[in-house]
């Protein structure tokens, strides 16, 4: 009998398992994914085919782009720049193996047991494991945490094939496609579209919606669209793919825009139109746990309607983000231990790792207008920040929104250098209930790009030092 059985070893599952074991529970983690050599792939989407490999390629492609386009501005001339894509890919693969291997080390160090197989909750206290050789084993569990994650959505107009790939396929092209199509101008479309564009692909992004990044602050949507187009991404909004044909070495595609049907041909097509939760055949129906639109229904503590069955990460409501899943994993382990952990779902940070980076936390201007809350805006451009200029990273801004009456910070939105880290500073201060004045009265190291957050806070009360204030 285990105290805690976790199904899935992604950032939600492995973190839940480690924390549960730290709290003194006998813990087992079940993972079904195995590689070609039969070795278990711990770490889920994030470590194997998500956050980590994409960021490795974003960094490598950025360095290549800088060397190709921008280093000469610094007086550095490179005569024969050459791309070794195989080496770039093996660097990425090595980082992935280092981190996934690290999880088994962490499991050993924290006394988490792990087993390879597909887990299914067959009764309140029993998980059935179907092993790679098809044999089954039933495990007794006092508590069960479902952390089975999500998978890419496939659309009828562009079914996956040799040249029509999901994000996983787009992380391991063998050569740089000359013409690359991307369906979906969401986070994956922008990140992976940027990777291949920097490496030399001619990239067209087809987005069904008329609005670009509608979940972001409107200033960020506007400025980033302009910047990405300038970088060479041909972003077509209001464009719906209607059919595709994978011919030997290319893909023919039809899309409709403003009542016109347009044909394009690409060497490769990435379909990145969102992800769907892995909830099929995870729980016996008679348990009474409800699943809506594929998401396992849970309360704010990730508890299902069966009190000892919990679910965390991409398989439950909320943004499909690694840090959100991990924090839920910690919360659930602590709640099983009868501690009072909780999550502030109003402060989940979002980051898009383009260049410049996009990041935000809290409410954006559209949301504040809709809710009728009166607010101040403090906006500071990186063109007025000394460090940003010194490192040639002066595109973008920090925008801070604060309550007109109380001065409490309601949202911080950054397009520019170190956006994720600046937003993290804002998030910590918001968790502690900071006002814009609190940030204004805090000392920031000089010269840093974080000073733009200081100035945005000052600007929200018309006290900016390095730009003009509203009259
Ligand atoms: P997953 O990571 O999907 O893990 C679930 C695990 O459960 C998998 O290993 C799966 O094999 C296993 N499993 C499923 N069913 C069973 C079963 N029945 N029995 C046993 N095992 C099972 N998020 C960020 O926060 N930052 C990023 O930069 C970022 N970049 C991304 C880039 C890409 C290209 C992609 C695709 C995603 C990215 N994400 C990012 C999202 C992030 O990867 C997910 O939000 C995160 O991995 C979800 O964690 P999870 O543990 O819920 O599920
Ligand atoms: P997404 O939801 O971010 O974007 C999908 C886009 O595709 C949307 O703009 C949508 O309007 C568009 N779309 C949907 N159907 C379409 C169609 N038929 N034709 C054209 N466009 C269509 O999804 P994603 O980019 O696939 O990413 C999936 C999830 O993975 C994200 O929601 C995010 O949570 C996670 N992720 C996070 C990061 C990060 O944190 N940096 C990076 C990558 C992925």
pLDDT tens digits for 23-65? 999 999 999 999 988 899 999 999 999 999 999 999 999 999 9
pTM of the entire structure?
A: 0.97
Instruction: Give me the pLDDT at residue 196, please.
Output: 98
Q: Is the pLDDT of residue 82 over 90?
A: yes
Instruction: Give me the pLDDT at residue 321, please.
Output: 98
Q: Is the pLDDT of residue 94 over 90?
A: yes
Q: Is the pLDDT of residue 471 over 80?
A: no
CA of 468 to the centre of ligand 1 (A): 45
What's the rounded mean pLDDT across residues 62-90? 95
**How does residue 70 score in pLDDT terms, banded at 50, 70 and 90?**
very high
Write out pLDDT tens, residues 109-157.
999 999 999 999 999 999 999 999 999 999 999 999 999 999 999 999 9
What's the rounded mean pLDDT across residues 223-237? 97
What's the rounded mean pLDDT across residues 76-104? 96
Mean predicted lDDT score pLDDT of the chain: 97
CA of 439 to the centre of ligand 2 (A): 33
Write out pLDDT tens, residues 169-178.
999 999 999 9
Instruction: Give me the pLDDT at residue 277, please.
Output: 98
Ligand nearest to the backbone CA of 313: 1
Nearest CA to ligand 2 atom 17: 208
Please say whether the beta carbons of 460 and 402 come within 8 A: yes
Nearest CA to ligand 2 atom 12: 184
Annotated catalytic residue within 62, 355, 446, 454: 446
Instruction: Give me the pLDDT at residue 470, please.
Output: 78
Q: Is the pLDDT of residue 6 over 80?
A: yes
Ligand 2 atom nearest 209 alpha carbon: 11
The question of whether 74 is a catalytic residue gets the answer no
> Ligand 1 pocket, 349 CB below 6 A?
no
Write out pLDDT tens, residues 428-443.
999 999 999 999 999 9
Write out pLDDT tens, residues 255-270.
999 999 999 999 999 9
Q: Is the pLDDT of residue 209 over 80?
A: yes
Q: Is the pLDDT of residue 191 over 80?
A: yes
Token pair 């206290």 is found at: 125
């Amino acid at each position: 009998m285990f105290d805690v059985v976790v199904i899935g070893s992604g950032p939600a599952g492995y973190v839940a398992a480690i924390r549960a074991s730290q709290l003194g529970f006998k813990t087992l983690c079940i993972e079904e994914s195995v590689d070609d050599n039969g070795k278990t792939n711990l770490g889920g989407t994030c470590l194997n085919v998500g956050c980590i490999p994409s960021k490795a390629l974003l960094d490598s492609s950025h360095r290549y782009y800088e060397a190709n386009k921008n280093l000469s501005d610094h007086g550095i001339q490179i005569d024969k720049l050459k791309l070794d894509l195989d080496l770039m890919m093996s660097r990425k693969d090595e980082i992935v193996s280092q981190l996934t291997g690290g999880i088994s080390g962490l499991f050993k160090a924290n006394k988490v047991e792990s087993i390879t197989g597909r887990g299914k909750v067959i009764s309140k206290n029993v998980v059935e494991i179907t092993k790679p050789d098809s044999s089954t084993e039933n495990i007794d569990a006092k508590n069960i945490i479902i952390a089975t994650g999500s998978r890419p959505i496939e659309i009828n107009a562009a079914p996956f094939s040799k040249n029509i790939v999901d994000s996983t396929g787009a992380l391991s092209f063998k050569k740089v496609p000359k013409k690359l199509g991307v369906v979906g101008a969401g986070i994956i479309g922008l990140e992976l579209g940027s990777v291949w564009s920097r490496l030399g692909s001619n990239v067209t992004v087809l987005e069904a919606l008329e609005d670009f990044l509608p979940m972001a602050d409107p200033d960020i949507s506007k400025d980033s669209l302009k910047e990405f187009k300038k970088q060479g991404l041909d972003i077509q909004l209001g464009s719906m793919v209607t059919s595709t044909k994978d011919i030997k070495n290319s893909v023919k595609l039809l899309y409709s825009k403003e009542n016109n049907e347009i044909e394009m041909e690409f060497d490769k097509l990435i379909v990145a139109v969102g992800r769907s939760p892995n909830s099929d055949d995870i729980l016996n129906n008679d348990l009474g746990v409800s699943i809506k639109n594929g998401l396992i229904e849970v309360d704010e503590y990730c508890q299902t309607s069966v009190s000892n069955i919990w679910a965390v990460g991409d398989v439950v409501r909320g943004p499909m983000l690694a840090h959100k899943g991990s924090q839920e994993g910690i919360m659930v382990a602590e709640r099983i231990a009868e501690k009072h952990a909780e999550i502030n779902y109003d402060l989940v940070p979002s980051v898009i790792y383009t260049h410049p980076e996009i990041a935000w936390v809290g409410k954006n201007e559209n949301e504040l207008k809709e809710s009728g809350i009166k607010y101040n805006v403090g906006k500071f451009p990186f063109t007025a920040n000394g460090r940003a200029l010194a490192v040639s990273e002066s595109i973008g801004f920090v925008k801070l929104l604060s309550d007109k009456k109380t001065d409490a910070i309601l949202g911080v939105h950054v397009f520019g250098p170190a956006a994720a880290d600046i937003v993290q500073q804002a998030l910590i201060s918001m968790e502690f209930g900071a006002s814009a004045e609190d940030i204004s009265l805090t000392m920031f190291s000089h010269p840093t790009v974080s000073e733009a957050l200081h100035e945005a806070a000052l600007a929200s009360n018309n006290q900016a030092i390095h730009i003009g204030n509203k009259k």
